[in-house]
Chain A
Amino acid sequence: MLKSNVSRLYLAVFFLFSSLIAPLAHAEEVVVYSARIEQLIKPMFDAFTKETGIKVKYTTDNEGALLARLEAEGKNTPADLLITSDVGNLWAAARAGLLKPVQSNALEANIPAHLRDPQQEWFGLSIRARTLIYNTKKVKPSELSTYEDLADPKWNKRLCLRTSKKVYNQSLVAMMIAEHGEAETEKIVKGWVANLATDPLSDDTRALEFVAAGKCDVTVVNTYYYGRLMKKDPNLPLAIFWPNQNDGGVHVNISGAGVTRHGRNTQAAIKLLEFLSSDKAQNLFADVNMEYPVNPKIAADPFVAAWGSFKQNPMNLVKAGELQTTAVKLMDRAGYQ
C-alpha cells in the first residue's frame, strides 16, 4: 500500500520534472497566441485540425502581455499567428513590426476591405458592433438617433457608460475623431460625461444591468453582451437601437488575426487564417460569442439576426489604431474616467 503510494509519488514528480525540460518540436503544427479566450477559438481549431491534419497549439493571455511577449521573443518566438479581440492591438502589433504582410486571394475575397489592414498585416474575423441599448419603459426609439446625440442635454442623468479604459470605447472615440476631428469629438465626449447618471462602469454587462434596473435610460455596448443577458432573462426591459443610420453608420470593431513576422510555420498559419475566414468556419467563429461574421455572404446566427440589419461604418479600422493614443488623451481631458 505504502509502496504503491510512494511509486505513484515518484511518477508524479517524474512527470513534473519532465515538463521542466523544453519540449521537442512536432511535425506539422501551427502555434497561436490568442487574446480571444479558449472557448471562443477551440471549436474552430478542432475543425481545422480535422480537415487538414495540422495540429494547433495555442496559449491565451491579454493583448498587452502577448504583444510584449512576441517582442521579447523576437526571432525565437514559437508563435505563428496572433489573434486579438480588438483592432487597436492588431494595429499596435503591426506597428511594432511583429506581423508580416500576407497575400491571399481567399482572404481578400472573404473579408471586406475596411475590416483588414491596407498593408495586409492583419485581418478581421468577426464583427463586434458597438451600439445603443435603451430601457423600453423609459425611452421611445424615436428619441434616439446617434452616438453624438447622447451629448445633448436632454439625456442629462440618463446615460451610463463603460470605463474609457476599455479598448472598445477607445476605438469608438478614435473613429469619431477620424470623422469629426479632435475639437468636435472632445465637445461630444464632454457632453457624454455631463450626462452620466453614475460613474463609468467596469464592464458592458454592468452597464446593461444599470439600464435594466432604471438607474439610467441608455448605454453604449457591444451587442453580444446584450445577447448574453437577454438569453438568460428575455423579460428584461432592454432593446437594441442602431445609431447613425443616416450618416456614418454603426461603429464596429473586429476580433482578428495576423501572421507573426518570425513564426516558423507561416504557410500553416496562412492556411488557418484562410480557414477561419471561410464559409466553413465563419459561422462557428462568430456564433460562439453571438458576434457577426465578417464574410458578408454568411448570415449571422438567427438569434442575432433577429435584432435587425444595420448599416456599419465603412471607414477602414486602421484609423482606430492610429488615433487610439489621441482618443485616450482626449477622454482624459474630457474627464471620462
Chain B
Amino acid sequence: MAIWRSVPFIAAALVLAPVGVIVSAFFAPASDVWQHLLETTLPQLLINTFWLALGVVSGTALLGISLAWLTAVYDFTGRRFFSWALLLPMAMPAYVTAFVALGLFDFTGPVQTVLRAWLDSDLSWFPDIRGRAGVIVVMTLAFYPYVYLLARNAFLSQGKRSLEVAQSLGFNRKQGFFKVVLPMSRPWIAGGMMLVLMETLADFGTVAVFNYNTFTTAIYKAWFSMFSLPAASQLASLLILIIFVVIVLEQQFRLRMRYAESKRTERAQRIRLTGWSNWLVAGFVLSVLFLAFLLPVLQLCQWAMRSFTQDYDVARYLEFLWHSLSLSGLAALLICLVVIAMVYAARRYPSAATRYAIRIATIGYALPGTVLAIGVYVPLVWLDGRFSEWMMNWLQIETGQLIQGTLMIMLIAYLIRFMAVSHYPIDGAMQRITPNIDEAAMSFGLHGWAMIRKVHIPILKPGIFTAATLVFVDVMKEMPITLMTRPFGWDTLAVRIYEMTSEGQWEQAALPAVTLVLAGLIPIFLFMRQTEK
C-alpha cells in the first residue's frame, strides 16, 4: 500500500518545514554577530554545552539503568511502590525542579542559612549550586525517567531470562548483565539517552534559572536580544547538524544488531534481596525519589498553600485541567498512531531512504522550544493564508483562516516536536518482532490484520503504552508551542505556570505546578496498571 509507505516521508516533510524556515536565514549576512560571538562568548558556550550534555546523558544513563535493573530483576522492600513512583519526576517540569533546588540550597535558602547560624561561618566551602555541577545534578534528576522507563521496558521483556541463559553459559551475574543483558537492551537504552540528549540541548528554562549559558541561550540571545535572525538561524543550523550526526551514528551502530524477544510468559522469579543489601537498595531508591520528586513537591505544596487564597478559582482550574488533559490525550493518540504507521512502513519496506526519513522525523525534539514553535508556525500560517487566498480568487468562497487559531495547528506542532519521544519506545518494541515470529504466525494461518492484532499488538503494547505516557506528560509540560498556537481562551496549566513565572512570581506558580504534577499522575497510573501485573 502506497499510503503506508509514504508515512515516514510525510512525517519527515512535516519536520523539514520548520527546519527549512530556520535554515533559510542561514545565508543572510550576520558576520558582525558571528565575529562578536567568536571573540566573546562562543568558546565558553561550547565548553559549557559539551560538559552539560556529557554530564546529564551519563548521569541519567547511570541512574536510569541502575534503577531499572534493580526494580526489574530484584525484589526489595517497597519495590512495587518504587517501580511506578520512580516515574513521577517525569511529571515535574525541569525548570520547576531547578527553581526549588536553588530556593532550598542556594545562599539564601534554608539549608545554608541554618548552617551559617549553627556553624557561625560564612560557609565559603559550600559547593556553588549555581555552578555546572548543580545544573547537571538537577537535569539528571529531572530527565532520568526517560532512560529508566525505556531500560525497564527492555529488562522486563528480556532481562531476567537472558540473565539465566548467561548464567547457564558460565557467566556470573555481573558478567551476565554487562555481556548479555545490557547489549540486548541497547536500542531502548540508547533511545532513552537520545531523548535526554535532545531535551538537554533544547532546554532553555532550566539553564535560565541557573543563568548557565549554553548554545541554546546563545540562539535566544541572538534572536530576541540582538534581533539577528540570521545569526540565530546559523547557530540553530549548527545545532541541528550536530544532532543529526549523533542520530546517524547511533543508527549505524544499531543496524549491525538484531534483537529478539524471549517468551514473556516464562518471565522468571525476581531475586529477593535480604538483610543489609535490601535496606541499602531501598534506601538508595528512596533517596532518588526524595530528591527528584518528594522534596520539590513538598516545597511546591508549601508555596501553593500560601498563594491558594489569592489565585484559586475552581471553575478556572477545572478548565485549565480539562484543556491540559484533553490536549495531551489527543496529542498522545495522534502521535502514537503516526509513529506506529511509520515504524510499520519501515518494517514492510526497509530502505535507506525510509530510515533517513524516520531519523529526520525525530529531530524536532532537539530544537529549542521557541525556535521550533516559530519554525512550525511560519509555514503553517503561510499555507493557510495562501489557501484562503486561492479559495477567494478561484472559487469566490471566503474561508478565512482555516487552521490558524485552532487546535489543529497545535496538534500538528506537537506532532512535529514529539515524534521522537514516541518513536524510540515503539521502535524498540518493534525490534522484538523478528521475521521468525511472522513466519510462525503465518504457518498458523494468520495474515494481515489478524497477525497484527493477535501477534504484533501484544508484543508492541508495552512500547506503545510507554510512548503514550511519555508524550502525554511531555505535552502537558510543553510551553512555547502551547503559548504560541493555542486558540483564544485555551489556557492550560502550563500556560498558567508561564503567566506566574514570567514575572518572577515563583511561589504563585506553585498552585498550577502542583496541579500539573497531579494531572501527570493519571497517565502514569494507567501505564502502570497495564505493564505491572
Contacts and interface: CB of A to CB of B under 8 A. Distances in A.
Interface of A: 12, 16, 19-23, 25, 31, 37-40, 57-65, 68-69, 72-74, 76, 78, 85, 92, 95, 163, 165, 167, 170, 198-206, 209-210, 212-213, 215, 225, 228, 289, 324-325, 328-329, 332-333, 337
B6 interface: no
A164 to B, nearest CB: 9
Given A68-B374, A199-B130, A61 B483 contact: yes
B210 A202 contact: yes
Residue in B36, B40, B107, B404 whose Cβ sees the most chain A Cβ within 10 Å: B107
A76 B499 contact: no
Nearest to B44: A337
Nearest to B484: A65
Contacts of B489: 57
A205 B504 contact: yes
A217 B499 CA distance: 31
Interface residues of B, number: 63
**Interface SS of chain A: helix, strand, loop or mixed?**
helix
B374 A65 contact: yes
Given A16-B330, A203-B504, A213 B211 contact: no
Contacts of B224: 63-64
B108 A337 contact: no
A78 B345 CA distance: 40
Given A225-B504, A325-B228, A73 B381 contact: yes
Contacts of A199: 128, 130, 211
3 A-B pairs with the lowest CB-CB distances in the bound complex, closest first: A64-B224, A332-B40, A61-B483
Contact of B502 (A57, A62, A69): A62
B227 A325 contact: yes
Interface string B485-524: 0111111000100111011111000000000000000000
B167 interface: no
Contacts of B370: 62, 64-65
B66 interface: no
Interface stretch (B246-254, B405-413, B455-463): B405-413
A246 to B, nearest CB: 31
A76 B381 contact: yes
Contact of B227 (A23, A57, A92, A329): A92
B377 A72 contact: yes
Contact of B108 (A22, A60, A215): A215
B307 to A, nearest CB: 11
Nearest to B39: A333
A39 B225 contact: no
B298 interface: no
B412 to A, nearest CB: 11
Contacts of B490: 19
A337 B208 CA distance: 11
B404 A76 contact: yes
Given A163-B211, A165-B217, A72 B502 contact: no
B326 interface: yes
A216 B272 CA distance: 54
A210 B108 contact: yes
Nearest to B506: A205
24 contacts: A16-B326, A20-B406, A22-B402, A23-B405, A58-B488, A60-B495, A62-B370, A64-B224, A65-B370, A65-B483, A69-B374, A69-B484, A72-B377, A76-B384, A95-B227, A200-B211, A202-B211, A205-B504, A206-B102, A206-B108, A210-B107, A210-B108, A324-B226, A324-B227
Given A58-B488, A72-B382, A337-B211, A324 B107 contact: no
Contact of B499 (A38, A68, A74, A289): A38
Contacts of B239: none
A219 B315 CA distance: 41
Contacts of A72: 374, 377-378, 381-382
Contacts of A76: 381, 384-385, 388, 401, 404
Contact of B405 (A22, A58, A337): A22
B381 A324 contact: no
